[in-house]
Each structure stands twice: as structure tokens, then as C-alpha cells.
Structure 1
Amino acid sequence: MKKRLSKVLVLSMMLITLLMLSGCGEEEALNYEINRDSMQSYTQQLITQYYDTSEMEQEYYLNDGSELQKTAVSGFMAAQTTDHVGEFIDFATGEGSVDFTNGVDGKVVCSQICKYANRDVKVSISYKQNRAFELDKEKAYESLVSQAAQYGVDVTTYVTEMYGQYDELDMTSMDKFLDSFLAMAYNERPYEAIDCEVSAVYSKKELILMAGKNTAIGMGVVFTVLIFISFIISLLKYLPLLFDAEIRKARAEKKAAESAAKKQTEDVIIASSETAKEAKKEQISQPAAAASTDLMNDSELVAVITAAIYAASAGAVRGPAYTASNDKLVVRSIRRVR
């Protein structure tokens, strides 16, 4: 059973591998049918038109140009000022020099590698399908047939004699001739260029170094900002003192009142202590029977004890010392302890 299961797993893995390899070998199906050579040639024409422009042309394209003109001119300007690619040399040739991929919204993107003095540049132009092209192409063919009939020749002979001397026209077939004829005479193609993206080509090592540098700068900025914010927060406690004079005045008055109350309490305690000593001498000289007298009638003794208890509790005097303390302490009974 285990051997059979192992064989099934091995066969399944081989089948999956074959499917993956077959999928990698196939080219991506584009959103619409194109002539790749024709699109590459048109892409190179657009690059030649916009990669080197004067200041007057740049101002016009950037302010009043189409989306293609704005993105192309701004992209080539950024490549020079930011990436310092140098002077344009030529279009790259060979494998990987041009690529066709699907873009968003049904577009097709043609990417051409351009050789510059300092580093290569990848230019990608997005094209959307021109659905009116086939209709215009049919009308152009009917017009050529009508003109050929006037001269009493077939359309192929008429086209060869009338347009054979133009190098820009593709005379290999009637279909390709019509495509090139509409492009040369009316600047109309099966596709329409929409926008352009220009990016310098960096190696993996350069990209890793740039990523590390950007990460370090970003972390440094974040920590610097956090430290600055912490410093600002630590200063917030001083804002009331800087901008509110009334608060400072009230605090000063409160501090002065506390000092005065403390001094008054100390004076009361000292005075009461002296009075208590004198009262104690008088009580000693009195007969023993007088010891049982109610001590609550001695107001001075009550004041002394109340002030002493309150001073020990470190409170502030808000009323007469002989009546009650700040924490509602009231002396109601005094007994002599023998």
C-alpha cells in the first residue's frame, strides 16, 4: 500500500512539473492582436521624438501637451537630473531589449531598453486599442480600388506603381501596406499611445544598497522626530507658568498664607505651652480633691492640647485653634492620667 501511494505521489509531481514547464514556454496572450515589429518601431519613433527636447518644447509639452507628451518629457528630464544617465547612445538590441506585456484597462505595454552613457534606461509606453482603425482601413482600401479602376488596372498594380518608391511603406502584402499607409498619411494605427514611463535600470546590488540607505534615513528621521516630540511634551508643564500670570500670583499667595498659618500655629503652641506650665503649678498647689474637677472648663488647656494634636498632624489652621482642627478634630473630654 505504501509503495503504491509513493508511486502515485511521484507521478503527480512529475505531471505538475511538466505543466509548469509548458506554461513557462508559452508567451503571454496580449489583450488584443498587434504587429510586434510595427509597435516596436513606433515606440522607438516616440522615444526619438521626446528624449531630447529644448526648453521651449519642454514648457509646451508639460503645460499644454497630451498625457503621453507630459509623462514622456517629465520622465526623460527626471532620468537626466535624478539618475544622471548621461547622453543617449542607441536602442538596445538582442534578447530582452524589448518586451510586450498586458497593462491595465485592456492596454498593451511595449518596453524598450535604451543605451545611455552612464546606465541603461527602460522606456515603457502603454497603448490602447484603436477600434476605429479597421473601419478606416476598409475605407482606404475601397478608395484605392476606385482609383485603380479609373486607370483600368487592378489595385495591386496601382499601389505598386503609385507608392512603391516610399521606403516607409511595407509593400510585402496589401494588409501591411494599408497599415503603413494609414500610419504615414494620417498618423493612424491599430493602437494609440496613452502614456509613458521612463526608469533607469539598476543592478540588484545597487537596489539593495539604495534600499538599505533609505531604510536607515527613514529610521533616523523617525527616532529624531520621536525624541523631539518627547522634549516638547516635557515642556508642556511649564506652559501655564509662562502664559498665565494669575496662576503664578495665586500660587505665591497660597504659599505666603501657608507660611503665615504655620507661624501663627507655632506662636499659639508656644504661648499655650507657657500657660499650661503655669496652670500645672497651680493644680499641684491645690488640694487633691480638686483633681477630680472637670478639666473641660479650662479653655487654655483645651487650646494647648488641640494645637499640639493639630501641629502633629501637619495641617493648616483655618479657624481658631481652640475650637476645631482642619480635619474636624474637636476636644470633648480631658482626663488626668496618674
Structure 2
Amino acid sequence: MKKKISLLGLILILVLSFTGCGKSETTEYDQATLEQYAEFVVQNFEAMTTEQLDSFSDMRDLQLDTQLMNAGLPVDGEDFLTMISSWEAAEEECGAYVEHGDWTMEVKNDGVSLTSEAKYENRDADIVFSFDEKGNMESMDVSAHYSIGEILEKAGLNTVLGMGTVFVVLIFISFIIYLLGYIPKLQEKLANKDKKVEEKKEAPVQAAPAPVAAAEDDAELVAVIAAAIAAAEGTSTDGFVVRSIKRRKSNRWN
């Protein structure tokens, strides 16, 4: 019995020790320092022109990282270029930057974020800076504020565009199906046409009938007519021919 109690006590101690190891230490962040980083970025982005901001992308990675380190800004060069793109996109969408309010810090599992409501020329927006657990700056996002009407209008436009795209794709698919059904018929017509051409080439050419001499036809016709007249008058064909010749001569002299 004592052994069982000792064993249960040992198991309880092990469980409590594992539970204690599973607890993570809460990271404490210096909000004032993080706000200084955020203010430094906003003020420099506001003061720079588009050409100056774009010049950072022309720098080499080592040169950009060195310049950011000398400025005391804990951010990677690639992340810094992404922040510049976000700033430029925000000004295209919301207009020129005017000002922003106080910063609000929110602690997350993988870091911390600072949020401030900013005022731009055309609409308001939220500027959000994200930091990792070591306090290094990871990103900057600008979320524009839209009214309910603008949100519904944009949603409706996206719906129309989506339906239009689907409609065009369906028409294209129908056209492809129609072509697939018409191609065999076209091939059959072409095959039949080629077959008829080959049959015409293989057909024998009939010889033209030999022409009959016109003189022979006339002689046979005269003989037939003479025989018919002789039979009617009871005379021979020779007498008919002689009388015909005499009549022609008498008519010629007269």
C-alpha cells in the first residue's frame, strides 16, 4: 500500500513538472520604443518623394541593410521595400497622407502590432505596424476605410465581373464543342469531294463518232427520192434522171 502511494506521489510530481515546463514566459514589449520606430518610418515616408522612395529598390541588399542599421531601424531590407510598396499603394488609393492619431498596441502569440487611425486626402485608413517577438519590424499595412455603400458597390461589381467571366468561359466552351462536332462533317465532305474527283479521272473517254461525208449523204438522199418518184410514175430512176437533166438544160437555154 505504501509503495502504491509513493508511486502515485512520484507521478503527480512528474506531471506538475511537465506542466511547469510547458508554460511560456510572457514577452514584455517597450511600447514607447516601438512607437518611435513607427513614427520614424511614417515621417520619413511622408517627407520623401516618389523618386527617393524608388531609389531604395535600386540599392544592393548589403547596402540597404547597412543603411537601415545605421539609421537604427530594426528591419530587414526586403521587408523595408515591402513597406514602401504599401505606403505608395495607400496614397494611390486614399490620396496624400495628412496625419495620424495615437498608437494602440496589441500583443499576439507571435509578436505585437501597433495601430493608428490615419487621415488621408480622400479617405481615412488604419496604419498597422507588425513586430516579431524580438521587436524587429516585419511589415506595415494600410487599410482604407470604406462606407457600407462603397463596400456593397464593390461587392456588386466583383459579382458582375465574376458572372461575366463565367459567361464568357461558357460561350468559349460551347464554341469549342460546336467545332468538335462540325469537324468530322467537314472531313467527310472533303473526303467525298476527293473521291468524286478521282472517279472522274478514272472514267474512260468515249471516242467521238466518225463524221459522215456530206456528199455521200446527199447522194443517198437523191437516190432515195429518185426511187420513190420512179416507183410512183412507173419509170426507172435512170429515165427520171435523164428527164431532169433535159429539163434543166431547156430551162437554161430559155
Tell me the TM-score normalized by structure 1.
0.41
**Residue 107 of structure 2 contacts residue 113 of structure 2 at CA under 8 Å; is this kept in 1?**
yes
Distance 2:183 2:78 in 1: 53
1:231 is displaced (CA, Å) by 1.8
Matches within 5 A, 1:17-36: 32-36=27-31
Per chain length, whose mean CA-contact separation is higher, i.e. which structure has more relative contact order (CA < 8 Å, sep 6+)? 1
Residue matched to 2:86: 75
Name the CA shift for 1:249/1:192 in 2 (closer, same or farther; >3 Å): closer
SS in 2 for 1:235: helix
Contact 1:111–1:124 (CA<8 Å) still a contact in 2?
Answer: yes
How far the C-alpha of 1:201 sits from its partner, in A, is: 1.9
Letter of the 1:100 counterpart: M
Counterpart for residue 32 of structure 2: 37
Residues 1:120 and 2:124 are matched in the alignment: yes
Change (3 A) 1:226 1:67: same
Equivalent position of 2:240 in the other structure: none
Q: What CA distance in whole angstroms lies between the structure 2 residues aligned with 1:201 and 1:92?
A: 15
- 1:131-210 matches, within 5 Å, as 191-210=135-154
Task: Write the distance in 2 (CA, Å) between the matches of 1:112 and 1:72.
Answer: 16
% same residue: 30
The C-alpha deviation readout for 1:92-111, integer Å capped at 9, x for no partner, is 24xxxx3323456x221112
Alpha-carbon distance, 1:77 to partner: 1.3
The TM-score with structure 2 as length reference comes to: 0.53
Q: Distance in 1 between matches of 2:129 and 2:95?
A: 21
- Partners of 2:36 and 2:147 lie apart in 1 by 27
Unaligned runs of 5+ in 1: 1-29, 131-190, 257-338
CA shift in 2, pair 1:249/1:56, >3 Å: closer
CA contact (8 A) 1:125 1:194 kept: yes
Q: 1:63 to 1:91 in 2, by over 3 A?
A: same
Residue-pair matches, total: 159
- Any gaps of 5 or more consecutive residues in structure 2? 1-24, 65-76, 198-254
Work out the CA distance in 1 between the residues paired with 2:141 and 2:55.
Answer: 19
**Structure 1 counterpart of 2:105, one-letter code:** F
Q: Which amino acid aligns with 1:44?
A: E
User: How far apart are 1:249 and its partner, in Å?
Assistant: 4.4
State the alpha-carbon separation in 2 of the partners of residues 207 and 227 from structure 1. Answer: 30
Decide which structure has the larger Cα Rg and report it: 2
Report the CA distance between 1:42 and its aligned residue: 2.5
Counterparts of 2:144 and 2:98 in 1: how far apart (Å)?
14
Query: Structure 1 residues 67, 255: CA separation in 2 closer, same or farther (over 3 Å shift)?
Result: same
Distance across 2 between alignment mates of 1:200 and 1:221: 27
- Return closer, same or farther for 1:120/1:62 CA change in 2, 3 Å cut-off: farther
Equivalent residue number for residue 239 of structure 1: 183
Aligned mates of 1:31, 1:46 — CA distance in 2: 27
Instruction: Give the aligned partner of residue 137 of structure 1.
Output: none
Partner of 1:88: 97
> What residue is the counterpart of 2:171 in the other structure?
227
